[in-house]
Amino acid sequence: MPAESAEPAESTEPAESAESAESAEFDDSADSTPSPASVAPPSSPETGLRDRLVRVGVELVDAEGAQALSLREIARRAGVSHGAPRRHFPTHLDLLSAIAREGFRELGARTARAEAEAEAEGGTEGERAARARIEVLARAYLDFARTRSGMYELMFRHDLLESGRLGLRDTSLPLFAGFVALVAEARPDADPATAAGALWANLHGIAQLWRWGSLRLATGAEDVEPLLAATLRAHLGPAGGAR
């Protein structure tokens, strides 16, 4: 589900997305510069380097958060010169987008498992079934935010990402489209995209504020379940009842 939220990063952090920062990050005269459009065979060392850079980035964002994703640090941990990533990622934003795409893939896998579990339970139809599936998906979304907090932070920072490149939109937008379809079933009286966007924004706020400790401090809640239940009632009406 694509979105934005953010604080500005420092020069060694993902905010070095400005053109000058990107140029400095990739400036390595000792490296050759193959065309970004060239595509290496699946088993080639070049493809291996691309995959390694993304894998290292995923590990780094999970361990230290989005602010740690400087090109130099990713290259260092991958064991290559700081100019080597440009062979596959012309800009810093491209590499960050490839890393974020892995996060959307996992979120998609988690929500697919959650939907499969909801369908296996069955027992309801129509609006009630859609609402039950939305609840399962919302819980999976909050769990992803809790267990992959660094990746979660990066995925929705579209000020740092190139969503129109590297297939990022192809990975993220279908997740939101599926959510919209469920909300349309659960709320046939509302504009589905607007209602889904409002619900998602509420869930995103819960995820972020819970992570920062703000909701626990303000509400005294021990977990997110009461907040999730209140959010679903506010946006979808009471479970099993009329709005």
Query: Using 50, 70 and 90 to split pLDDT, how confident is the model at 1?
Result: low
Q: For the chain, how many helices (H) and strands (E)?
A: 10, 0
pLDDT tens digits along 168-213: 888 889 999 999 999 999 999 999 999 999 999 999 999 999 999 9
The lowest-confidence range among 75-89, 132-146, 152-166, 201-215 is: 152-166
Q: Burial of 209 by CB count in 10 Å (0-12 exposed, 13-18 middle, 19+ buried)?
A: middle
pLDDT tens digits along 33-86: 333 333 334 444 556 899 999 999 999 999 999 999 999 999 999 999 989 998
How many other CB atoms are found less than 10 A from the CB of residue 19? 9
How far apart are alpha carbons 62 and 65 in whole angstroms? 6
| Rounded (5°) CA angle 175-176-179 | 95
pLDDT of residue 104: 95
How many other CB atoms are found less than 10 A from the CB of residue 161? 27
pLDDT of residue 29: 33
- Residue-wise burial string across 123-146, b where 16 or more C-beta atoms lie within 10 A, e elsewhere: eeeebebbbbbbbbbbebbbebbe
pLDDT average, residue stretch 203-230: 95
pTM score of the predicted model: 0.76
pLDDT of residue 15: 39
Task: Kindly report the average pLDDT of the chain as a whole number.
Answer: 81
